[in-house]
Amino acid sequence: MDLLEYQGKQLFAKHGVAVPSGEVAANVEDAVAAAERIGYPCAIKAQVLIGGRGKAGGIKIAQDAEEARAYADAILGMDIVGPHGEGPFRVDQVWIEGGSDIASEYYASVILDRGEKKLLAMVSAKGGMDIEAVAAEDPEALVRRHIDPTRPFERSAAREIIAAAGLDEDVRDQAAEVLVKLAEVAGSEDATLIEVNPLIVTNDRDVVALDAKVTIDGNALFRHQDLAEIADTAEDPQEAMAKEKGLTYVKLDGDVGILANGAGLCMSTLDVVAQAGGAPANFLDAGGGSKAEAIVDALTVITSDQKVTAILFNIFGGITRCDEIAKGIVTASQQMDLKLPLVVRLDGTNSEEGLKILAEADLPNLNQETTMLDAARRVVELAEGDG
């Protein structure tokens, strides 16, 4: 789970990392009132889960109330597209914080390195810019050190990294302290990524985190009540509905509804539908051991997306039994009075019984295919025919 900038900064503040004080606002009036309290100049920053906000016009410095109003008005409701085409992300909140005078801009991060199975600390004196470009063009400017997983991360180790990165001597102790605290945030808040860009030095020689990108491990939310609440409010309504029913659902842009069992098979199904020329409307993993009831829930979630014009069931029964899936399809079609064309491919455990149940039910909108590829082609035809 990714945190918004202000949520990340609140987490930093909790662990003693200096951040500018500020307020969050969801409408123009609240934003102006916050700016008045904070004073000018102040920064008005779009709160979206994507980088490149500045370039997209999502960060502005206001010198007075009139500017604060104009910028808040422009930024709230804006759609921001990420540097690699992600999104768009609608801006629902802005963060207003006091303007900082900046003497230097650094970069600091602590991240889980999956390959090495260690936390990795990275520091650069070249902050405030695209760190990927720094890493590519001047790799030595980005100092990387793995944190020994068998020992606590000591100040001396942090200071070595800071010195190697060539940060100004007078702020090295402060910066080392920040790095130790960022590692502490990772460990105690179950963060798998913490990135501060820029980490600034003010004219008064204070080291302050001017930005915060934090990713929290969703599996660890059970031991972080405050973060779990953020996760609940951040969800898409359809995704929340699916989660409540124990299904994994991700909404996409297309018109072919997809239901498969197992994340890998589900991803593979999306790929095969795309190869057949179709556009998947969702990812839905009904999980292992799905029962009839889960199918009713899954169809409810899939059809709540108005764009869906045809639905593909791709089931390979392992622990999941195909006869249970077939019963679920029949029950759901009758209960929901489903008119959309369905393509069903059942294989694996109890597939013969499952196919028999479907044949006996004789649903007019149901099409059976025996292979994944044929099923994908068929559902794409049907989705187009309907659209």
Partner 1 sequence: MSIIVDKDTKLVVSGLTGREGSFHGLRNKAYGTYLAAGVTPGKGGQDVEGVPIFDSISEAVEKEGANTSMIFVPARFAAPAIDEAIESGVHTVIAITEGIPVLDMLNTYWKAKEAGVRLIGPNCPGVLSPGKANVGIIPAQFFDPGKIGVVSKSGTLTYQIGNELKQAGEGNSSIVGIGGDPIIGSDFIDILSLYEADPDTDLIVMVGEIGGDAEERAAEFIAAEISKPVVAYIAGFTAPPGKQMGHAGAIISGSSGTAQAKKEALEAKGVRVGESPTETARIAVEALRGF
275-334 binders of partner 1 (CB under 8 A):
275, 280, 283, 288, 316-319
Exactly one of 195, 249, 324, 369 is catalytic; name it: 195
Which residues inside 57-76 make contact with partner 1, applying CB under 8 A?
A: none
Of 22-30, 130-138, 198-206, 333-341, which part binds partner 1 (CB under 8 A)?
A: 130-138
Q: Give the ranges where the chain is alpha helix by DSSP (H).
A: 5-14, 28-38, 65-75, 131-137, 155-164, 172-189, 225-233, 237-244, 263-275, 292-303, 322-336, 351-361, 372-386
**Do residues 289 and 315 touch, judged by C-beta distance below 8 A?**
no
Cβ atoms within 10 Å of 357's Cβ, excluding its own: 20
- Smallest gap from residue 368 Cβ to partner 1 (A): 18
Residue 102 or 250 with smaller CB distance to partner 1: 250
Residue 30 or 347 with smaller CB distance to partner 1: 347
End-to-end Cα distance, the chain: 35
Backbone angle region of 87, left / alpha / beta, with phi > 0 → left and psi within -120 to 50 → alpha: left
Q: Output the DSSP codes for 253-268.
A: SSSEEEEESSHHHHHH
Which residues inside 8-37 make contact with partner 1, applying CB under 8 A?
A: none
By CB under 8 A, tell whether 149 contacts partner 1.
yes
Q: Is 107 a catalytic residue?
A: yes
Q: Please give the Cα distance from 235 to 213 (Å, whole number).
A: 18
Site string for partner 1, 226-265 (x = CB under 8 A): ------------------------x-x-------xxxxxx
- Smallest gap from residue 167 Cβ to partner 1 (A): 18
- β-partners of residue 314 are 260, 345
Residue 103 or 250 with smaller CB distance to partner 1: 250
By CB under 8 A, tell whether 272 contacts partner 1.
yes
Q: Minimal CA–CA distance to 6: which of 198, 200, 211, 187?
A: 211
Residue 192 or 202 with smaller CB distance to partner 1: 192
Site string for partner 1, 74-93 (x = CB under 8 A): --------x-xxxx-x----
Residue 293 or 374 with smaller CB distance to partner 1: 374
- Smallest gap from residue 386 Cβ to partner 1 (A): 21
Q: Minimal CA–CA distance to 313: which of 276, 265, 360?
A: 265
By CB under 8 A, tell whether 169 contacts partner 1.
no
Residues recognised as catalytic: 107, 195
